[in-house]
Amino acid sequence: MHSFVYTRASGLRQALDAARRGGRYLAGGTTLVDLMRETVERPAVLVDIAGLPLRDVTLTADGTLRIGALARMAEAAAHPGIRAAHPVVCEALELSASPQLRTVATIGGNLMQRTRCPYFRDVTAACNKREPGSGCPAREGVHRTHAILGTSRQCVATHPSDLAVALAALDADVRVLGPGGERAVPLTAFLLPPGDTPHREHALGPGELITAVDIPPHPRPLRSGYLKVRDRRSLEFALTSAAVALHIRGGVIREAKLAAGGVGTVPWRLPAVERRLIGERPSNRLWSQAAARAADGARPLPGNRFKTELLKRTVERQLRVVGGGR
Amino acid sequence: MPCERPSTDSASVRPNRPEALSGPASRRVFLAATSAVGGVLAAGPAAAEAAPLNMEWAASAPEPSTCVTLTVNGERHTLTMDNRTSLLDLLREHLGLTGAKKGCDAGACGACTVLVDGRRVVSCLMLAVRLEGAEITTVEGLERGGRLHPLQQAFIDQDAFQCGFCTPGQIMSALGCVQEAHTGCAEEIREWMSGNLCRCGCYPNIVRAVEQAARGW
Ligand SMILES: Cc1cc2nc3c(=O)[nH]c(=O)nc-3n(C[C@H](O)[C@H](O)[C@H](O)COP(=O)(O)OP(=O)(O)OC[C@H]3O[C@@H](n4cnc5c(N)ncnc54)[C@H](O)[C@@H]3O)c2cc1C
Ligand code: SF4
Ligand code: FES
Ligand code: FES
């Protein structure tokens, strides 16, 4: 690990100031400290924000569910308000990392976590994300866990967050505070696909701070849930995952919101599946027909071709869990 | 309050006790020092030249360090440490509390689990400089007046270890698991103890030990 100066932010303004002068936010540290030890990250100054007052979960006047960026993953997962309205969020959180990581890891840090691509984590390897222009050894090398959707010539790494998949399905916004004030960015626009600039991963400007995640009100109550498929039962990242939220009334699907994880360079919304579901009556046949479109546009590599079929089955299974089997 | 140690106190990569240079610890020190050099190499040729001198150089020009007061197993400590020091290295290398183990040093095995302000955390990813005023509990702090903690006793009763390397982390994590009341059934315990790997595969007995302790809670 390279040495660094440690500072603790006493307020939002101090945090922004310190970051504008080149400081790096430290929330739970479960991504940053790990990558600093690998010397993938080499911040000269750490700005500890864990004590800032951005930890609450609140309901705003218009019914938006606001989760503070510094709420710990464990706290958000156990929050009765979130669980009642959006179990998919709590399930995604509880299937993430481990209990002793979730006590310190934060919601904001979770969205900002870096890819688990082994070449990215190995400073002796080439990697376009870590060293722009150095190449992408994953393409020809080990890429079993890599993305099949949203990839580019430059990078095929997945975004590893489970939470982000649930939030993408629910049309959540990321609230961002900068020198010019606060703005809301849709999560699906906040995380960037690699394109020609895989080192640019998010929409934050220099020094900007995530203050909260907003889940908008859904006037039609949603049933929701998260399914994560992985190499072992727990403490493992997704090979594939599905966040499913449905509103069914009078035996007809009125609303369908789906996103997939473990397969995209960013959390992957599934509009083709959603379109196939809306206006239809739930049935096992429908789940299977709709899920058949989950991998539309996929461009797998030789080592992760299995994900195309696995994704469809993951989506089908979770449609059955949330929408009912018949 | 004055610090117990001078500010040349070391990072995890540099031994602060002479005895760490001999005996079984020397290999770890060598490996750690090597990886630090690897990191410097990546920074460019100029840094690479300086790398072999790193340890001498550090002695005369201390790395950024911070004075922190924290409580470990009820005992207050004030010490100045290199900012890079993890809580795990603070416990093991500076305070001589070697109960918490270094398995992966990356948050993925749970061997280093301790309680910070009553909640279980992986100490390998926790920078010690953040812990001003914090209360740490390690496995060494569980027994009371020579009597084992019920969880320690349960691990013995249920034969919940073989080599024992993962056990301190398992016990501290189990303490969190029981306090969080995730002990409804064996399946629940398995999931909420899944942050702790056991290379010897003692999982069924570990689950039974947690069940035993939870019954008497
Ligand atoms: C062994 C292991 C297994 C894991 N498994 C999973 C898993 O299965 N699923 C999953 O989703 N995740 C998993 N994770 C990742 C884990 O969830 C993240 O490390 C964690 O959520 C990051 O949050 P943090 O608060 O610790 O972030 P930090 O490490 O403190 O920060 C991460 C990054 O975000 C920036 N940052 C933090 N907060 C803010 C903010 N408010 N505004 C702007 N920037 C900010 C930091 O500067 C840094 O660049 C795993 C991690 C480990 C170590
Ligand atoms: S997939 Fe992306 S992160 Fe992995 S080596 Fe290629 S460029 Fe780097
Ligand atoms: S040593 Fe900390 S989790 Fe493995
Ligand atoms: S008892 Fe050997 S690793 Fe668990």
**Structure confidence at residue B61 as a pLDDT band (50, 70, 90):** low
Largest CA distance in chain B: 61
User: Would residue B126 count as lying in a domain?
Assistant: no
A and B: number of Cβ contacts within 8 A: 107
Q: How far is CA A126 from CA A115, A121, A123, B14, in A?
A: 15, 10, 8, 29
Q: Tell how far CA B59 is from the center of its chain.
A: 25
- Rounded to an integer, what distance in angstroms lies between the CA atom of residue B98 and that of residue B121? 16
Taking 90 as the threshold, does the pLDDT of residue B161 lie above it?
yes
- B124 CA closest ligand 3 atom index: 2
Cβ contacts of A20-28, under 8 Å, gap ≥ 24:
A20/A179, A20/A206, A20/A207, A21/A45, A23/A47, A25/A49, A25/A209, A26/A50, A26/B127, A26/B130, A27/A69, A27/A70, A27/A105, A27/A106, A27/A108, A27/A109, A28/A72, A28/A101, A28/A104, A28/A105, A28/A106, A28/A109
pLDDT at A57: 98
Contact flag A104-B42 (C-beta cutoff 8 Å): no
Asked if residue B213 is part of any domain, the answer here is yes
**Residue B198 near residue B206 (C-beta atoms within 8 A):** yes
Tell me which chain A residues have a C-beta less than 8 angstroms from the C-beta of B177. Answer: 99
For residue A59, which phi and psi values (nearest 5 degrees)? -110, 120
Residue B11: band (very low, low, confident or very high) from pLDDT cuts 50, 70, 90: very low
**B33, B59, B85: which is the final residue of a domain?**
B59
How far, in Å, is the centroid of ligand 3 from the Cα of B113? 7
The answer to whether residue B68 is domain-embedded is no
Q: At B175, which CATH number?
A: 1.10.150.120
Interchain contact, B130 vs A48, CB within 8 Å: yes
Q: Which residues of chain A have pLDDT under 70?
A: none
Give me the sheet containing A5-8, strands edge to edge.
A5-8, A45-48, A24-26
Domain C-terminal end among B59, B87, B110: B59
pLDDT exceeds 80 at position B46? no
Question: pLDDT digits over B14-44, tens only?
Answer: 333 333 333 333 333 333 333 333 333 333 3
In a domain, B9, yes or no: no
Q: Enumerate domains of chain A plus CATH numbers.
A: 1-53 (3.30.43.10), 223-323 (3.30.390.50)
* Residue-number span of the structural domain to which B37 is assigned: 18-59
Residue A185 in contact with partner chain B when CB distance is under 8 A? no
**pTM: predicted TM-score of the whole model, two decimal places:** 0.91
- B59, B88, B112 - which closes a domain: B59
Q: Which of B203, B166, B164 is nearest to B186 (CA)?
A: B203
Q: What integer pLDDT is reported at residue B62 of this predicted model?
A: 64
Which bound ligand lies closest to the C-alpha atom of A101? 1
Residues 6+ apart with CB under 8 A from B126: A29, A33, A104, B86, B87, B88, B116
Q: End-to-end CA distance of chain B: give it in Å, rounded.
A: 39
Do the beta carbons of residue B114 and residue B87 sit within 8 Å? yes
Q: Could you please report the per-residue DSSP string of A252-266?
A: EEEEEEEEEESSBSS
> How far does CA A207 lie from the centroid of its chain?
21
Place of tokens 């059934």: B185
More confident residue, B59 or B193: B193
Which atom from ligand 1 is nearest to the alpha carbon of A35?
A: 29
**Ligand 2: residue whose CA is nearest its atom 3:** A120
Ligand 1: centre distance to CA A31 (Å): 5
Specify the length of chain A in residues: 326
Question: Is B152:B142 a contact under the CB 8 Å cutoff?
Answer: yes
Q: Do the domain assignments include residue B107? A: no
Give the HSE-up count for residue B163: Cα atoms under 13 Å, Cβ half-sphere: 9
Give the count of domains, chain B: 2
Q: What's the confidence (pLDDT) of residue B183?
A: 98
pLDDT at A325: 80
- What is the full DSSP assignment across A44-95? SEEEE-TTSS---EEE-TTS-EEEETTSBHHHHHT-HHHHHH-HHHHHHHHT
Tell whether B106 is within 8 A of chain A (Cβ).
yes
User: If DSSP states are collapsed to H, E and C, what string results for chain B?
Assistant: CCCCCCCCCCCCCCCCCHHHHCCCHHHHHHHHHHHHHHHHHHCCHHHHHHHHHHHHHHHHCCCCEEEEEEEECCEEEEEEEECCCEHHHHHHHHCCCCCCCCCCCCCCCCCCEEEECCEEEEHHHCEHHHCCCCEEECHHHCCECCECCHHHHHHHHCCCCCCCCCHHHHHHHHHHHHHCCCCCCHHHHHHHCCCCCCCCCCHHHHHHHHHHHHHCC
Residue B56 has pLDDT above 90, yes or no: no
- Predicted local confidence at residue A326, as pLDDT: 75
Q: What is the pLDDT of residues A175-233, one digit of tens each?
A: 999 999 999 999 999 999 999 999 999 999 999 999 999 999 999 999 999 999 999 99
Answer yes or no: is B94 within a domain.
Answer: no
Query: Is residue B85 in a domain?
Result: no
Nearest CA to A283 out of A246, A320, A254, A311 is that of: A320
Q: Are strands B113-116 and B119-122 parallel, antiparallel or unpaired?
A: antiparallel
Cβ–Cβ gap B195/A97 under 8 Å? yes
Chain A residues in contact with B197 by the CB 8 A cut-off are 235
Question: Is A1 an 8 Å CB contact of chain B?
Answer: yes
Q: How many CB atoms lie within 10 A of CB B130?
A: 23
What are residue A218's phi and psi, to 5 degrees?
Answer: -115, 100
How would you classify the pairing of strands A45-48 and A24-26? Answer: parallel
Report the pLDDT value the prediction gives residue A104, as an integer from 0 to 100: 98
Q: Would you call B180 an interface residue with chain A, using a CB distance cutoff of 8 Å?
A: yes
CB B138 within 8 A of CB B87: no
Q: To probe the interface with B, which of A34, A100, A130 has the most B CB atoms within 10 Å? A: A100
B140 and B162 in contact (C-beta within 8 Å)?
no
B120: in domain = no
Contact A124 B42 (CB under 8 A): yes
Q: Are A18 and A45 in contact (CB under 8 A)?
A: yes
Taking residue B204's Cβ as centre, other Cβ atoms within 10 Å add up to 12
